Amino acid sequence: MSNFTIIDIPSSNYDSRPPDTLIDLVVIHAISLPPGKFGTGRVIDFFTNSLDPAADPYFTVIAGVKVSSHYYIERQGRVIRFVADEKRAWHAGVSHFRGRDNCNDFSLGIELEGDDFNHFSEIQYQQLNGLLKLIKINHPAVMCDRIVGHSHIAPQRKSDPGPMFDWSRIGVEFV
């Protein structure tokens, strides 16, 4: 993508991966803050620990929670990196994938601005595919069958990216 750029907005919500960890999983999430509201900038505030709990009643529920993601794709297509790939972002929580626990250890998290009730935008799918191509170049162990939703690795707790996410739109051509 000729206009594919990533904006860095650092989050402090990360730590080190275990030594010699191979990144071989991508977890796709969906988030909106407040829930169901888009374009508020509050997800950025949340991931950078600057969310004002008084700004919305829901924010008092999540006040003090420390989470992040490696990447976030807004509805208009802006791609933000919060945590460098080599670090462990706090996006998956209690999770399990193919016999391995703690998916944060070996995965990259990509948040899409969205929810379970609204379709994702065309530009989000385009940017997601561009980002996945870049990830594949930098992390060749990530294969098509290792791009999953949060609901796949934490099915008892999470539903995202949700029923409105069209998995058939993930047309990554791996080199």
Domain boundaries, the chain: 6-169
The percentage of the chain sitting over the pLDDT mark of 90, rounded to a whole number, equals: 95
Query: What's the pLDDT band for 2 if we cut at 50, 70, 90?
Result: very low
What pLDDT score was predicted for residue 172? 60
Distance CA 80, CA 110 (A): 10
**CB-CB contact of 113 with 74 (8 Å):** yes
What pLDDT score was predicted for residue 4? 79
Query: What's the pLDDT band for 3 if we cut at 50, 70, 90?
Result: low
What pLDDT score was predicted for residue 61? 95
Among the listed residues 111, 113, 122, 173, the single catalytic one is 111
What pLDDT score was predicted for residue 167? 96
**Residue 127 in this model has a pLDDT that exceeds 50:** yes
Residue 74 falls in the annotated catalytic set: no
| Residue type at position 120 | F
Query: CB atoms < 10 A from the CB of 82, how many?
Result: 26
Tokens of 116: 């379970």
Q: Which of 3-7, 65-69, 133-137 has the lowest mean pLDDT?
A: 3-7
Q: Report the predicted TM-score, pTM, of the whole model to 2 decimal places.
A: 0.96
Say which CATH superfamily domain 6-169 falls into.
Peptidoglycan recognition protein-like (3.40.80.10)
What pLDDT score was predicted for residue 126? 95
**Residue 28 in this model has a pLDDT that exceeds 70:** yes
Half-sphere exposure for 151 (CA within 13 Å, toward CB): 12
Predicted confidence (pLDDT) per residue in 30-73, tens digit:
999 999 999 999 999 999 999 999 999 999 999 999 999 999 99
